[in-house]
Structure 1
C-alpha cells in the first residue's frame, strides 16, 4: 500500500514523523517539509503507529542529495522493486543538515525524558573527512545463500549482496573480502586497526557447519590477515590463521582487543572521546576513580595515568572477554583493580570515589546504578553514551538525586546514519 505524505519533524531511530488520517507514521529516507510517496512496511488497524519507506520524492526539501551508495539508496531500490541496504539511512542528506537534525533529535529526548531544555551542537570526529565516508574500522556482513557477502535491509530478513562498503576504511575495503566464498558461514566480521597493523576476520559458522570449513575459508584470505572462528553462544574463539586479536593505539597507550570485543568503530572515535574525557574530568594524582562498563580499558589507561601510582582506579566490565583484554592492557598499572561482573553488583560496596566515568551499553545504566553512583559521592561524573534516549532517561535519575548537567558534547561518530555519541559532565547540585 502506498500513500502521499507531508513529512514533519525528525524522530529518534532514523525516522521522520508524518500523519495520515490521525495516525502517526514513522518514515525513513525522508526530510522535514518534503512531500513524498511512501510504501507502508508495517501497518494494521490495531497498530499504534505505522512504518513506511520513501519510494518517490514529489517535493524535495533543501539538504537532499543523491545517495552516495546505490545499494542503500531507497529511491533507486524502489525503482527496481527492491529494498535498500540498512546502515546508511541518512546518506540522502547533506552532512551539515544531518548534524542539525541530530541536534534536534537529541534536544527532544533531553526535553521529554531528561527534563532539560538544551540544544546541543553536534561536532564532527577528529580528522573527519569532508564527505563523511571511509570511517568504519569494523564491519559485520551476513552471508547470502550464494556464499557471497551481503547485508540486511532495515527490519527485514532480505539479504542484499554487497561489495565495497563506502563507510568502511580503505584498510577494510582493500581486503576485497567479497571475492571469497563463505558458504557455511552465518556472518563474517572484519576489524582493521585504525593505525594500521594486522586485520582480523571473524568467521561465524551457520548451525551444523563442519568445523573444517572455517579453516578452509581462512586459508583463502589474503596474506597478512588473521582469521578466527567465533561461536556467539559459547563465546569460544578458535584461531585459524595469525592471531585472535587486533592492536589499537590511543593517546600513547596500546590496547589488545580480542575477537568480537567492543571497540569504537570510527577510526578517530577513541581519540576524540578519550581526549574529551581527560580534559573534562581533570583527574588529579592520588584520586580514586571508577571506570564503569570499561571494556578493554580505552578510558581506564589514561585515567590511571592521570591518577598516578598513588591513586586508585576501579575498572568494571561485564564481558569476560573484554575483562581479560583489560587485564592484559593494564598489567603494568598497579593502581588499577579490574572487576568482571555486573556493574550494579560491583558498586554495592564502592565508597569514597572522587571521579566516576560510565560508558554503558545502548540500554543505559538504569536507576539502581545511578543511585549507587550518587551514594559513592564523587566530585564529578562523566557519562559517555551512544543513545540519546537512554542517556536522557538516566539524566532524569541523576537530576532527581541532586545532580546537574554541567556540560554536554555530542559527536557525529556515525556519519550518514542516525546514530551519535555524547559525553556529559555531571556535578552535584
Structure 2
C-alpha cells in the first residue's frame, strides 16, 4: 500500500487500519423540532439564565425565521443576542468580524452557548467563532500551513447547536469548517472534532422558503456527499494511525457509512424533483433534509474527494455557489474519472439513481450513473449545463484551476479512489466545461 494514496494521519504505522470511529452531535429531527430547542439546551447543561449568541444572516432575519427561533429560546428563559453578518461562502475576514463582536460584547470568555442558524455559511461561521473564542488567538492560527500557523484545537468550548435551513451541506454534523482566503483565491478548512457541534436540530419547516434554484443546488451538494462517501477508499485499505487521537476525520468508508449513503442517494434522487417544483410539499422537504443528513453522515465521515477538491478553486475565483459547483463537476469527477476505480460499485450507484442496467456489461452499466445524474439535473431545469454555463469558464482557465486543485487540495485528493495528477485534473476540468448541449 502506498502512503501517498492514503487519507490516514501523518503519524501512521505501515499497516492497514483495523478500527473505525463514528462521532456525531446529538441529533433532533422533525417537523417543529425548533419547539424543543430549549429542552435541547437544558439537556446540554445550559442553565435557563444563560446568554447565547445566534449566528445567522440578514435574509433569515428578514423572512422571520430568526424571530421564530429567538421566541422559542426566550420562552425557555434564555437571553439571546443575534449576529446576522454571515456572508455566502464566508471568508476568514467575515469570521474575524464575528469573533471581534463576541470579544467586544462578552470579553475573551465569550457567550454561554452558541447557535448557528442558516445554510452552511452561517453554520461554519458559528463553528469557527466558538472554536477560536475558546482556544484563543485568531482564525489563521488554526488554518493549516503554509496559509496559517497549523495549530491544533484542544478545546471544544461552550455548547454549540446548529440548525440548517437548507438540505445540502451537512455542516451541522461536520467536523470541518470551510473558509475563503480571499487574497489567495483559495479555500481552507479547519478540521477537528473540537469544531463539531454538540447538537443539531433539523426542522424541515424552515426549508420550505428556500427558492427552487437554491433547493436544487444544495441538494446536489448533499447527493455529492452521499456518492463520494460511497465510492471512496474502504477504511481498512488505509494506513493505521499511530494513536487514536491522530486518526483523521475523513477516515474511509465502512459498512455503516455505506448504509447511510445508499439511503441518502435514494431519498435525495427520488424527492428533489418534487422539492424543487413544489417547494411547499413538506413531505418532500422532510425527505430531502433527512437525505442531506444521511449523506453528510456518510460522506463527511468516509471522506469527500475529487469533486469537492476541484470545486473549491472554482468557487474561490468565480464566487459560485458551492452546491451548483458540485453539481456541474460531479459528472466528470465522481461519475466520470472515478468510475475506473471500481466499476461494479458504480453500477450500484447507477441503479440507486434509477438507471436500468439489465443486460449491460459492467462498465457500460457503471457509465449509466453519469447519464442518470445528468438527466436529473436537466429535469430540475435550474442547474448550469457545465462550467462554461456556470461561470463562463473556458479552455484558457483550465491550467490555473488544475494547478490550484493539486497544490491546495491534497487533504481531499488523498481521499480519492484514483490518484490525480495536474494533467488529470486539467482533463477533468475540460470534460466538465459542457455536461450537455
TM-score (norm 2): 0.25
Select the structure of larger CA radius of gyration.
Answer: 1
Q: Which has the higher contact order (CA 8 A, sep 6+)?
A: 2
More strand by share: 1
